[in-house]
Amino acid sequence: MATKWWGWGEEQRTFPLPHGEQFWAHVSSWLGELGVGQRIESLAEVALPPSRLESKALDALRAASGADSLSTDSVDRAVHSLGKSYCDLVRIRRGEIPHATDAVVYPETEEQVAALLNAAAERGIAVIPFGGGTSVLGGVEPLGSKPTVTLDLQRMNRLLQLDPLAATATLEAGVLGPSLEQQLNANGFTLGHFPQSFEYSSLGGWIATRSAGQNSTLYGKIEHRVESLRMAFPGGTIATPAVPAAAAGPDLNQMIAGSEGVLGVITQATVRLAPLPKRCDYRGYVFPSFQAGVEASRELMQSGLTPSVLRLSDETETEVSLAMRPPPRALMAAAEGLYLALRRISFEGTALMIVGFDGDEDQVRSDWRRAHRILRRHEGSSLGRRPGRAWERARFEHPYLRDLLLDHAIMVDTLETAVTWDRYLALYGSVRDAMAKAMDGRGLVMAHLSHAYSDGASLYYTFLARQAAGQEMEQWQQVKVAATDAIIAAGGALSHHHGIGSDHQPWMSRYLGPAGVRTLAALKQTFDPHGLMNPGKLMPTSEDDSDVSDV
């Protein structure tokens, strides 16, 4: 099925709002009168400049990858020149593609990738790896003055080997989430990695950005699942040893993970698998406050239990989530109201938690007995399995809601961080307040806890406001700078799982410090001395580069 160039996912798919009038009435009460978003009818309306690659360069790229593997078609170039960030969608909906790639190449093998990189290096052509194109931080946009070719790895999607004894699988980097899981599930395994972009993002993209799936509290972030990697770079290929652990100097897997294409192109990975769980039991709990839920989450994570899912919405996100619920029929409403009244549960001003365990029947039952006691100690009230099932059904649908909000001229974006428990609530409040101030108090800021650890957890913010017509990018920039400055000041991670791209790059010097910047620069010099790999991403341009005025 065709995918949207102007939004998320499949062309005919949208976010389900069975009672849209109720939801939009709530949105209007929060943000004021809604408008109509701008969107051109077709990419045919976009006038891209001609490809800067001369015929000899195009012939060399075709020779490296096959005659039918290269495209200079304007639509192909357009959709490969932007990702899926708020800024990307605002621009492409207006028909603005400020930095177009000059060609798109679809290699089928690692050998073709290596040949393409060598051909590009000989001619000073920049190269951008492209997995599913779901970057939300400017990770795939061509930047800099060099002619650029985008390497779309979608044809490199094979399962190369599965070792049931070691519980590992070797896959090509272009495989998308659904295909990867289908191939593993057929053999009784799972990778357990389910980011919100799961349906459209790739294994190589996950590794290149240190992605976290929604079940990461049990299965770990993607870098924890990697046993070994292969990466092609201009002039060579690096392959890390396929061993469970080693003490042979710094871990090269971790050096490549998170490199975002600035060192080379990840071509394949051997990943650690888990058996398909026999039972997945997710439930809802409501807490009297976000603070109470945070304390319950901390104790749960430090008790020795390992939930598969642990997600706690703050009071505002809980309110928004309830606004999207279809109003129950009268009989159901009465029964639900009586049930909640008898248990003295009120949703007003509360924080909703989705928490669950994967495993065999006995283990899940045992885990739930212990977890319930902990959650009850912090005034958590059980809502049963229904909220957990509803969350699981809709877990990949929320990006489609962004399309609807953009259609109503609403600025909507997300950002995330991670911080230790002792600073968690302070960071939560300071970042929320910084974003609200940047929107002059006329927007909506909400957050949730997820991806939890024994020493802390991530915080994931969503912010909304009516678009400032004609100043959409400046409006977004003001909020982004305020929020990121507040995160750094409060000691949070610059990014927990979205990566860096070009949007976060201006803060990297401040975040890593001079020694950290020199370390990244030395890696870049080793693998890509001519600066051809994904220019303008991840790497600061100098050790003291901390100017965020043009974010």
The pLDDT tens digits for 265-280 are 999 999 999 999 999 9
- Confidence band for 551, pLDDT divided at 50, 70 and 90: very low
Nearest partner of 534 among 271, 258, 270, 268, judged by Cα: 258
Would you state the pLDDT for residue 342? 47
Q: What is the pLDDT of residues 345-354, one digit of tens each?
A: 567 899 999 9
Answer whether 452's CB lies under 8 Å from 295's CB.
Answer: no
Q: Which residues are catalytic?
A: 460
Secondary structure of 173-199 as H, E, C letters: CCCEHHHHHHHHHCCCEECCCCCCCCC
Residues in Cβ contact with 87 at an 8 Å cutoff, skipping those fewer than 6 apart: 138, 473, 476, 503
- Do the domains at 51-152 and 279-393 have one common CATH topology? no
To the question of pTM greater than 0.85 for the whole model, the response is yes
Kindly report the backbone phi and psi dihedral angles of residue 229, in degrees, each rounded to the nearest multiple of 5, phi listed first: -140, 160
Would you state the pLDDT for residue 336? 45
- Confidence band for 330, pLDDT divided at 50, 70 and 90: very low
Residues in Cβ contact with 475 at an 8 Å cutoff, skipping those fewer than 6 apart: 411, 465, 467, 468
- Confidence band for 550, pLDDT divided at 50, 70 and 90: very low
Give dist(CA 122, CA 138) in Å, integer. 26
Secondary structure of 359-400 as H, E, C letters: ECHHHHHHHHHHHHHHHHHCCCEEEECHHHHHHHHCCCCHHH
What is residue 496's DSSP assignment?
S
Structure tokens at 440: 């002059």
Would you state the pLDDT for residue 344? 54
432-441 average pLDDT score: 97
Kindly report the backbone phi and psi dihedral angles of residue 270, in degrees, each rounded to the nearest multiple of 5, phi listed first: -100, 125
361-383 average pLDDT score: 97
- Confidence band for 20, pLDDT divided at 50, 70 and 90: confident
Q: What is the pLDDT of residues 449-460, one digit of tens each?
A: 999 999 999 999
Give dist(CA 542, CA 531) in Å, integer. 14
Q: What is the pLDDT of residues 400-422, one digit of tens each?
A: 999 999 999 999 999 999 999 99
Amino acid sitting at position 8? W
Q: Say yes or no: domain 51-152 is CATH 3.30.43.10.
A: yes
Q: What is the mean pLDDT of the chain?
A: 94
Give dist(CA 312, CA 287) in Å, integer. 9
Give dist(CA 200, CA 175) in Å, integer. 10
Q: Exposed e or buried b for every residue in 402-431, given b needs 16+ CB within 10 A?
A: bbbbbbbbbbbbbbbbbbebeebeebbebb
- Confidence band for 339, pLDDT divided at 50, 70 and 90: very low
Residue 366 has pLDDT above 90, yes or no: yes
Would you state the pLDDT for residue 280? 97
Q: Say yes or no: domain 279-393 is CATH 3.40.50.10540.
A: no
Would you state the pLDDT for residue 540? 85
Would you state the pLDDT for residue 19? 81
Q: What is the DSSP string of 218-262?
A: HH--HHHHEEEEEEEETTEEEE----S---SSS-HHHHHTT-TTS
Q: Comparing 89-103, 182-196, 329-343, which segment has the lowest mean pLDDT?
A: 329-343
Give dist(CA 517, CA 508) in Å, integer. 8
Angle at 389 between CA 386 and CA 394, to 5 degrees: 125
Would you state the pLDDT for residue 346? 63
Answer whether 514's CB lies under 8 Å from 477's CB.
Answer: no
Residue 1 has pLDDT above 70, yes or no: no
Give dist(CA 196, CA 191) in Å, integer. 15
Can you say whether the dihedral through the CA atoms of 525, 527, 532, 538 is positive or negative?
negative
Give dist(CA 44, CA 159) in Å, integer. 37
Would you state the pLDDT for residue 548? 45
Domain boundaries, the chain: 51-152, 159-240+250-275, 279-393, 504-551
Q: Say yes or no: domain 159-240+250-275 is CATH 3.50.50.60.
A: no
Q: Comparing 81-85, 150-154, 428-432, 547-551, which segment has the lowest mean pLDDT?
A: 547-551
Q: CB-side exposure of 449: number of CA atoms within 13 Å?
A: 33
Would you state the pLDDT for residue 323? 86
Structure tokens at 330: 């009268």
Residue 543 has pLDDT above 60, yes or no: no
Query: 3-class SS at 163?
Result: strand
334 vs 378, more confident = 378
Quote the percentage of the chain above a pLDDT of 70.
94
330-340 average pLDDT score: 43
Answer whether 550's CB lies under 8 Å from 473's CB.
Answer: no
Would you state the pLDDT for residue 331? 34
155-168 average pLDDT score: 98
Q: What is the pLDDT of residues 162-216, one digit of tens each?
A: 999 999 999 999 999 999 999 999 999 999 999 999 999 999 999 999 999 999 9
Query: 3-class SS at 19?
Result: coil
